[in-house]
Amino acid sequence: MMTFVYNEEKRRYAAMDEGQEIGRLLFSKSGEKTLVFKHLIVEPEHRGKGVAGQLLKYAMEDVAKRGLKVVPVCPYVRKAFDENAEYRQNEAVAKKVGVIVGSLRKESFSRKVAEKMSDMLPEGYAGELVEIGQLPLYNQDFDEGNGPESYDAFRAKIASLDGLIFVTPEYNRGTSAVLKNAMDVASRPWGHNKWGGKPAMVVGVTPGALGAMAAVIDVRKTLAFLNVPVMGQPEAYLSNAGEMFKEDGSFASEEVKGFVQKLVDSYVKFAQKTLG
């Protein structure tokens, strides 16, 4: 028999069948009272049996009981909200901040920082990690109209965002090729730049001592050309990333946590000014 659980620590609602997790609704938090529903996924062998709908129904009932609100970021959840007035009663309006990570590494420090920052955004701001690893290398020939499908989805996603946080590693004193590729993809075809006007923060992360400063400057240079207003101060150089987190994924100290929170708070003030 299928059962449902809320798992605060793993940030998910899960559908369980005989002890197996067969579906999950992943969320992040926006302040204390809002959940951002990011992805709803059902294991392939359990699709077509209404698991997704039942899981979402359970989650929405639970949210109502807890007095929470939901930002529907996942396309499936968005569609369900559009079709269900009851769900919309618990919808929160939020500025969408895309968090873009310049590393594809599984245990990436940049990704860990990005996930934390996304969760640290206050009420009214919903953070969402935007994936870039699926984008083939940009080739200007694609601008003739036969580009990869993943380009269309990525460009539409960037267009839908209100703000941006870039978290970059440093590769050979520059940003990573994957991040530059993503910036190029959503900047083209010429005249269809999707980045412009969205307030941004650029964060450098490195296990080294120099804060990935060269990578941050690299990203800032491209964003200036793409007409993206970037927060000037405080600068966000996170060194010694290997010591930033405990094994359980939490911050190693209150000091580090406070520093990262200060960056996020500064970004929100900057974004508020820019967005009006």
Ligand X SMILES: Cc1cc2nc3c(=O)[nH]c(=O)nc-3n(C[C@H](O)[C@H](O)[C@H](O)COP(=O)(O)O)c2cc1C
| Chain length of the chain | 276
**Cβ contacts of residue 234 below 8 Å, gap of 6+?**
262, 263, 266
Q: Contact with ligand X (CB under 6 A): which of 34, 90, 103, 222? A: 103
Please state the closest distance from residue 242 (CB atom) to ligand X, in A.
Answer: 8
**Cβ proximity to ligand X, 115 vs 128, nearer residue:** 115
Whether a cis peptide bond, with omega within 30° of 0, leads into 234 is: yes
Applying CB under 6 A, the site for ligand X has a residue count of 16
**Cβ proximity to ligand X, 108 vs 187, nearer residue:** 108
C-alpha to C-alpha distance for 164 and 119, rounded to whole angstroms: 14
What would the two tokens of residue 64 be? 């109502």
Positions of E strands within 8-124:
12-17, 20-30, 34-42, 69-72, 95-101
Please state the closest distance from residue 62 (CB atom) to ligand X, in A.
Answer: 34
Which span (45-53, 82-90, 171-179, 229-237) binds ligand X, by CB under 6 A?
171-179
Which span (2-10, 20-28, 190-198, 201-209) binds ligand X, by CB under 6 A?
201-209
The reply on whether position 106 binds ligand X by CB under 6 A is no
The reply on whether position 34 binds ligand X by CB under 6 A is no
C-alpha to C-alpha distance for 200 and 260, rounded to whole angstroms: 16
Q: Which residues bind ligand X (CB under 6 A)?
A: 103, 105, 108-110, 169-173, 205-208, 210, 212
